Each structure stands twice: as C-alpha cells, then as structure tokens.
A and B are shown apart, each in its own frame.
Chain A
Amino acid sequence: MELVCPAGNLPSLKAAVDNGADAVYIGLRDDTNARHFPGLNFNEKRATDGIVYARRKGVRVFLAINTYPRPDGWERWQAAVDTAARLGVDALICADIGVLDYASNRWPDLNLHLSVQASSTNYEALRFYQENFGIKRAVLPRVLSLSQVKNVVENSPVGIEIFGFGSLCVMVEGRCILSSYVTGESPNTCGACSPAKFVTYKETPQGMESRLGDVLTDRYGKNERAGYPTICKGRFEVGENTFYAIEEPTSLNTLELLPELQTAGIEAIKIEGRQRSPAYVAQVTRVWRQAIDACKQNPDRFSARAEWNRELDKVSEGATTTLGPYYRPWQ
C-alpha cells in the first residue's frame, strides 16, 4: 500500500518526503485544482524544485487538475495539463471528462489517475474512464462502506486509492453544490468549498456566530471553539432539535482498518489536507508511515497504537476522529 500525502507548498512537500510518503500530491496556483486557496499551491518553478527534491529520495509526485472547466476557462485547464506534462509529474489526477480526453490525446504517455472529484463510486464508472482515457488508478469518494469498497476493488479495472485520514467530506465529492448554493462558488467550478472570502465571525449577545455568506452556520457557547463554517459541519434546526444535522466537525481516521484495507488489495492510502501546515503533514505522514510498515510486517497482530491516535487527534478537526462511511452504523 502506497502512502500518498498532501502538499500545499514546498515546505509541506519536503515534510511529506522526509517523513516517509511514497508519493506527494500537489496543485497549481489557480482554480484548476480543488484546493484553490489564497497563498497555497505551486507555480512551475516551485513544482520543479519539489519534483527534484522528491525524486532524489525516490518519492513520486502527482499533480491534481481536478476541477471542472467551464467554456470560458477551457484554455487555462489545457495549459495546466501541458504544464504538468512538461514538469514530468508521475501522475496527473483529473476529474473532468473533457480534461481527461485532452490529456490522453495530447500526452498519451502521461499517467492518469481519476480524482475523487470525478464522483465515481462503482466499477462500471471506473471502466468508462479506463476504456476511454486509460486511467491507471482511481480515488474513491468517501461514501462507501468497507464491504462496498472491497466489491469495487474486486471488479475494478484499475488500482484503487482511498482516503485514510483528514477532514471528512460527507457528501459525494464532485456532486455537491451546497457551497455554490450559498456563495455562487463550488469545488467543481472554483476549486474551493465554502471559500474564505465569504466567511465571517461575529461576537453577539447569543454568542460567537459564524456565517457563510448570509447563512448562519453555527453559534458557539462561551467555552466552545468556533469551527470553520463549512455548511455540512454546521448546527441547524430540524423539527424540534438544533444539532449537527449533517455531520459533526470531525476527521476521518481509518488507522484501525489498515489490515483489512491491505487484504482487500487497496493500492494506495490518501491523506487529506493540502491546505494544512507543514507540521500537520510531517506529523500525519510519520504516524501513517509507521502504521503501514507495522501492518505490512505483521498484519495479523496489527493494532492501531494509542500514541498514534493521540498524535492524529491533535491535528484533527474538532480534535475527534471517526471511521466515517467505512463503518456502516455511521451512515
């Protein structure tokens, strides 16, 4: 099982490489990738430096061009694909059919992975992308139980990468437009969910309020830490109750499932968090490297060490973790 780690900048890339990543994934400094945040990502020069650094240590570099170009942006996505090919990345992670078509025709030797943003949850969908664009790997959306993941792996024409750790998107990636319903901008179109420029916090007599656009996403009590107002992590009223109607602010952590994931034939584990700090990347990569190595050595006696989970909890959203959809009762 390959460990695929996030890097939003060069220091994070180095942190991932130095702490045991098998591959690092990055994005360019524009809306062609799904972490289009201010101050984040790589220009061509930085990407080149990163690739040189990673290669020297035998680590692969993937580049995500995984948003959906509209007609007026098409040339920018084409240019991004050309840049990736020039950089000689080890894989290009794409979602859009038009982009995949362009990449596979223009750069037939370029290794293509299907992004989680392509929203493909079943092996028939994966066959479409394999037969038409020759994808080599697919990242599954975080909507399947473990047994469903196994079924996809058994029938998939390509290797499967799944999310192992990080902020938990509870909606099927690539087909959620809650963000644009409120702000006009979605991950698909603009490369960010609940973009920061629409976020406000305000102290009120009812407590600290967080808003996305005009929508009140939560109110916090005196001793509560205000979270980021992603719509699906807010507290809302349904019937008589005010609660986290969609999901609590919590992170995915599948450390304890590692032996099962290995037996299932999962090709790679992805760590979420290109928007996070180099310290996060270093810490999470270190723990997961140790865990995967321990699991490879002796899967039957593997158990997630308490110290590993403590380290991961420290950097988790809401300081708690969940098995998420992999664990059926969560659904």
Chain B
Amino acid sequence: MSSNPRLSLGPNLFYWSRDDIFDFYAEVAEMPVDIVYLGETVCSKRRSLRTEDWFDLADRLSSAGKEVVLSTLSLLEAESEMLTLRRLCENDRFMVEANDMGAVQLLIKQGVPFVTGPTVNIYNPATLQVLANKGLKRWVLPIELSKETLAEMQAERPEGVETEIFAFGRMPLTLSARCFTARSHNLPKDDCQYKCLDYPDGRLLSTQEKKPFLALNGIQTVSSLTCNLLPETAEMKRLDVDVLRISPQSQHTGRIVEAFHQALQDEPTSSLDRYVPLGTCDGYWHGGAGMEKLKG
C-alpha cells in the first residue's frame, strides 16, 4: 500500500496581471500543497511574467518547501516559442512538465526525468511504458479518461512512475490557432489587446437557451463547469493515485486546497459548490460525458 496522495497546484491556465500572479503565489507558499506547477501553458503572448520571473518565483516557492515543476506551452507554433521551450527544458534546477511531444523530445535529449501534463496523450499502458523507458517520472491522466481506465493503467504501471489526476478546476478541453477571446471582441489575434486580462477565469459562452456551456480562455476553451473530485479522494487512494491536481482559479483556491488537504487526512469536508464560478461536474471520472454530474 502506497502512502497518502500528495496535492499539487496545476499551472494557472488564465491570464492575470503581474501583481495578481505574485500575490497569488505568495499565498500558495503558505498553502498545504506539496507540488506547484509554474509557467504559461496557453498563450505565448501573455507576458505578465518573463521566463526569468518564472525562475525567480520557482526559487521562492522552492525555498518555501514546495516541489516546483516548470510547465511548458501546450500548443507550439512559432519559432520564438521553441526558443522559450528550449530554455525551460535545458534548465538544470527544476523538473519540467511537458505539455506537448516537442517538449518530451527535448527532455529526452537532456536525459532528465520529466512529467507529462494532461495534453500529452497517454491512453494505454504501451504508451506509458515507451515514455517510462525515456525518463517519464509522473504523468497526468488525460482529462477525458475514466477511473475504470485509470484502474487498468495502474495495474500495468511501470515501476517508479507516478500518476496524477486532474481533480479540481475548469477543464482544459481544446486548443486552436484562433484566439476566441479576441474574436469575441471582434479583434484579430495579432491585435488582441490582451483581452484575456478581463476574464480571470475565462469568458463565458452560453447556448441560445442561456445555459452556460464553455469558457473562452484565449486560444484555449475550458469547461464552464468545474470538475470536482473532492468526494472521490477515498477512491483515488484505493487506486494508488500519487498526486491530486487542483487547477488555480482567481478566487478561493486556498479554501479548495484546504478542503482537499482535509479529505486526504480523512477529515470531514463541506461542499465546494459556493467556491466555483458556475457549478460542478464529474462525468469523465465516472465514465460519462464530461459535463455530467453523476455523483457528489
């Protein structure tokens, strides 16, 4: 039987101001999370922090006792993005979360252990084994896979590879060349005027029946509902999950972390419903459609 799962804070998916980011991570230093993922994973035009700033922040959180992992951009298009990617992958202090196979390749060439994020497609044990042979230390289960698939993956998991689950947050569903936030303001991507800054948890997209559906986050689209697997912590322990990931939101992240921390100590927790922007879901975990709420 393995030890109690640890808690991680995923990379912030949204675009916040420099001050807001520093304030947020100052609080994170005090939160009961073991692992902190840092970096811009969505859009290279977001430059509240430069790469050096991310390294400084990594040092600070590392000094505060956190395991720091640097996260890479998920959709690589321009050569300038490849340069930044190389800088991250060649750093010799922090482990890197690869969010694309280009990053995986660079990390293999470095000969260093690495993490894969939810947008690296690991759907079966054969894939997990190939990457484990190349230095994979930890992988995040792709968002759309269920606990049943997880159980089968865990049964054949290579020695020394840890499993992380996206346990809380608006789910990243897709990426595009097009910036949908800019489009919603009738602006082209090349003149986006950094509109994402106005939507710290994404810009709501609703159906014509006024039902909230998705949230636009620049070139990324996330769910309007928040995935909440707090009621599933016992099941995750049973499945030998090593790390539970909480994805940052602009408000109440500390309370959410606190609740997961309590749940992992088998302490009673209260509902997180009042801390999310627009309701929760758990469909993927239970083998249904992602937006469904099947338990909890």
Contact = CB atoms under 8 A, between A and B. Distances in A.
B246 to A, nearest CB: 20
Contacts of A125: 76, 100-102, 104-105
Contacts of A238: 184, 203-206, 216
Interface residues of A, number: 69
User: B125, B288, B291 — which one has the most chain A CB atoms within 10 A of its CB?
Assistant: B291
Nearest to A183: B289
Interface in B111-145: 119, 121-127, 129-131, 143-145
A125 B105 CA distance: 6
Given A96-B124, A102-B126, A176 B78 contact: no
Given A172-B174, A238-B204, A331-B188, A180 B289 contact: yes
B39 to A, nearest CB: 17
Given A148-B77, A148-B78, A246-B180, A122 B288 contact: no
A229 to B, nearest CB: 11
Interface stretch (A52-60, A66-74, A159-167, A297-305): A66-74
B289 A178 contact: no
Contacts of A118: 101, 121
Nearest to B287: A184
B174 A178 contact: yes
Contacts of A102: 126
A132 interface: yes
Interface in A142-184: 142-145, 148, 151, 170-172, 174-178, 180-184
Nearest to B186: A241
Contact of B205 (A68, A142, A172, A237): A237
B122 to A, nearest CB: 8
The secondary-structure label for the interface of chain B is mixed
B208 A242 contact: yes
A30 interface: no
A257 interface: no
B204 to A, nearest CB: 7
A97 B205 contact: no
B176 interface: yes
Nearest to A149: B77
Interface stretch (A215-223, A272-280, A312-320): A215-223
Contacts of B74: 175
Contacts of A99: 126
B209 interface: yes
Interface in B61-77: 74-77
A39 interface: no
A121 B143 CA distance: 21
Interface in B164-185: 171, 173-180, 183-184
A24 B189 CA distance: 36
Interface stretch (B26-34, B149-157, B270-278): B149-157
A185 B100 CA distance: 22
Contacts of B8: none
A227 interface: no
B221 interface: yes
Contact of A68 (B103, B124, B125, B129): B124
B41 interface: no
B207 A128 contact: no
Nearest to B191: A329
The list of the 9 closest CB pairs from A to B, nearest first, reads: A98-B126, A124-B102, A71-B152, A181-B290, A125-B101, A176-B174, A68-B123, A143-B177, A128-B105
Given A74-B126, A325-B177, 6 more contacts: A121-B76, A172-B177, A182-B289, A235-B208, A236-B213, A331-B188
10 contacts: A95-B121, A96-B127, A98-B129, A122-B77, A143-B176, A145-B77, A175-B75, A183-B289, A184-B288, A247-B178
